[in-house]
Structure 1
Amino acid sequence: MTKPTFGIAYKADEHRLFTLRNAGGMAVTISERGAALWSWRAPDRYGRMADVLQPPSGGAIHALWQGRHVDGAVSLMRMEEGRAAALAEYRLDDDGCLTVQHEVVAMAPTALALASHPCFNLNGGMADVSDHMVQIDADFYVEVDMDGKPGGVAAVGGTAFDFRHPAPIGARLRWPDSQILRSAGFNHAFFVRNHFTGGQGPLRAVALIVDPGSGRSLQLHTTEAAVQFCAGRQGGFTIEARACPDLRCASWPGIVVTPGQVYRQTSVYRLALSNPR
């Protein structure tokens, strides 16, 4: 395996960007702002390179982390004085797997909030994501109330939220579903099958999104019990792991890290070609 290269660029607000590259020509850039994914350049089935990430919006940018290059990975740390220390590590391999590991050590009760909201468009922004095919291995999802807050757990069967078999985003957005109208699209958590009490288990595949046009596919593996899926009419989608103890708890964040506790979370995004030529 080739050792990923490391680069830094400076922005006007002085946060740094770190870049990892693999033998397949992929380049993943991570920002110190929110320890967030900033860009991910990858080839399509014809070898054409494009960025499959939209830059983080203001709402997805959190506190400034301190980043550095460690053993072929990008490691970032953030301290909340008297409350918690958080670590995030990104590692890219030659198979297109981006492993994201989070660790939180609490000194005081701390609500877990690890989301960075990466917004993907697998065609590289050439069009919207309406043709993207989505599959989520989940039998239940979390409904939202009129204020967009979690309102309860519901079965996906017979609803626009049933992605147990692949379905196009655009067609599902046109369903006359009150939850879609209320959220202007999808902005909901899904409880993945075979989740474990306490929220964590072995790393397993939970979601797959495929763009038929470019041939790119994105598969998510995680140790967590839930995923958040967002897609509206802004030309992108978000899929990321969520921590939640069990089906009886629909509220986010669903886990509080207690003093002395170490909380670990692992997710793997695999960007590949679903139908290479």
Structure 2
Amino acid sequence: MQLSARPFGVTPDGTPVELYTLTNALGMEADIATYGGALVRLTVPDRNGILADVVLGYDSLDGYLDDCCFFGKLVGRVANRIGGARLVLDGEEYELDRNNGRNHLHGGAGGFHSRVWKAKTVETQAGQALVLRYESPDGEQGYPGNLAVSAIYTLTDDGLRLDFSAATDRTTAVNLTAHPYFNLSGRPGADCLRHVLTIPARRCLETDAELIPTGCLSEVAGTPLDFMDGVAIGARIRQDFVPLKNGGGYDHCYVLDSRSGLRSAASLVEPVSGRGMEVLTTQPCIQFYSGNFIPEGLPGKDGAVYGERSGLCLEPQGFVDAPGHEAFPEVTLRPGEAYRQTILYRFFVK
């Protein structure tokens, strides 16, 4: 595997941003920016061996600076929503940044997605990898504790691996994930509704009209949320079903049936190109988001124009709004503990 770097622009405060390119033996490439740790480009072969970019993004840093969709970025300290932007840890309450109405989303407006990460290269068993590090200070976006975070990108023979780790000097909350938008067709700007999705989960988190979990788990069998046997994303997305109406489509956290080790959380197939992707994770849940709020007419890479459902997200993570629900597995990290999480995007053809 090869790794190269080039300048990708400068932030408004004068911080330089670099774009790293990972290349494997099959010619697949992954471009990763130090701004937000964003996955800018990922090329994957179709059934005829033709490589195409399968993630949404922008040609320049300016797009990522103005981005409202979290295209390709690393998000934290806590991914997804925290109701009322209220975090309670060991009986102490913290007020977080409100950036989603009255709620907190993806670590706040100044979360990890908007920070420049420090980068270096390392050798791993799979080859050369890119290590990104960020030091989040005590009180950032309202979170307690100084948090040291690392994210390691490795382009394997058949996919992209992302390993997170974190440590804190004070009890805090951590639930990291990555936010790439996939479209396996290789046709920029096309919608993702014909992609066939499988999620091995019998339950998802019930949410209210603001997409905040109620604390209950809902059975998906017999509903438009059931992807156990593989269904085209567009087959039921417009059905008269309250959870779909609340999210403007799919924006739901599935609780995986299997809870241990690195295991399959979802698989996705685009039938025309034959490209397929399996998402593996060590986390208990995966959020499926069907790109419902991508602005219409959004300028993307290589002259593409994006719009609603131009791409979809599959985001492995812990239980959403876990600090607000005692019955949910916690996402609390304490001094002396090590946070670790792995996401593997494995590609295949069908």
Q: TM-score normalised to the size of structure 2?
A: 0.71
2:224 matches 1:160: yes
Task: Assess, with a 3 A threshold, how the Cα gap between structure 1 residues 74 and 250 changes in structure 2: closer, same or farther.
Answer: farther
2:166 matches 1:122: no
2:331 matches 1:255: yes
Contact 1:111/1:253 (CA < 8 Å) preserved in 2? no
Q: Find the counterpart in structure 1 of residue 135 from structure 2.
A: 79
CA displacement at 1:249 relative to structure 2: 4.8
Contact 1:150/1:252 (CA < 8 Å) preserved in 2? no
Task: Assess, with a 3 A threshold, how the Cα gap between structure 1 residues 119 and 250 changes in structure 2: closer, same or farther.
Answer: farther
Q: Find the counterpart in structure 2 of residue 238 from structure 1.
A: 313
Instruction: Give the distance between the partners of 1:249 and 1:140, measured in 2 at CA.
Output: 17
CA displacement at 1:147 relative to structure 2: 1.5
Contact 1:31/1:37 (CA < 8 Å) preserved in 2? yes
Contact 2:129/2:154 (CA < 8 Å) preserved in 1? yes
CA displacement at 1:160 relative to structure 2: 0.8
Contact 2:5/2:18 (CA < 8 Å) preserved in 1? no
Task: Assess, with a 3 A threshold, how the Cα gap between structure 1 residues 125 and 59 changes in structure 2: closer, same or farther.
Answer: same
Q: Which residue identity does 2:134 align to in structure 1? A: R
The runs of 5 or more residues in structure 2 that have no matched partner are: 58-63, 71-112, 139-145, 293-307
Q: Find the counterpart in structure 2 of residue 104 from structure 1.
A: 166
* DSSP-derived class of the 1:138 partner: coil
Moved more, 59-68 or 104-113: 59-68
Q: Find the counterpart in structure 1 of residue 102 from structure 2.
A: none
Instruction: Give the distance between the partners of 2:271 and 2:203, measured in 1 at CA.
Output: 27
Q: Find the counterpart in structure 1 of residue 286 from structure 2.
A: 227
Deviations 1:86-124 (A, max 9, x none): 010011122x22111000101112211312311000012
Q: Find the counterpart in structure 2 of residue 23 from structure 1.
A: 25
Which residues of 2 match residues 34-113 of structure 1 at below 5 A? 34-55=36-57, 57-60=67-70, 61-71=113-123, 72-82=128-138, 83-94=146-157, 96-113=158-175
Task: Assess, with a 3 A threshold, how the Cα gap between structure 1 residues 249 and 214 changes in structure 2: closer, same or farther.
Answer: farther
Instruction: Give the distance between the partners of 2:42 and 2:327, measured in 1 at CA.
Output: 31
Contact 2:42/2:53 (CA < 8 Å) preserved in 1? yes
Q: Find the counterpart in structure 1 of residue 342 from structure 2.
A: 266
The runs of 5 or more residues in structure 1 that have no matched partner are: 196-200
Moved more, 227-236 or 7-16: 7-16
* Number of equivalences: 265
Instruction: Give the distance between the partners of 1:244 and 1:213, measured in 2 at CA.
Output: 34
Moved more, 164-173 or 232-241: 232-241
Instruction: Give the distance between the partners of 2:155 and 2:41, measured in 1 at CA.
Output: 13
Instruction: Give the distance between the partners of 2:233 and 2:28, measured in 1 at CA.
Output: 26
Instruction: Give the distance between the partners of 1:226 and 1:238, measured in 2 at CA.
Output: 13
Q: TM-score normalised to the size of structure 1?
A: 0.89
CA displacement at 1:250 relative to structure 2: 8.9
CA displacement at 1:149 relative to structure 2: 1.3
Moved more, 20-29 or 109-118: 109-118
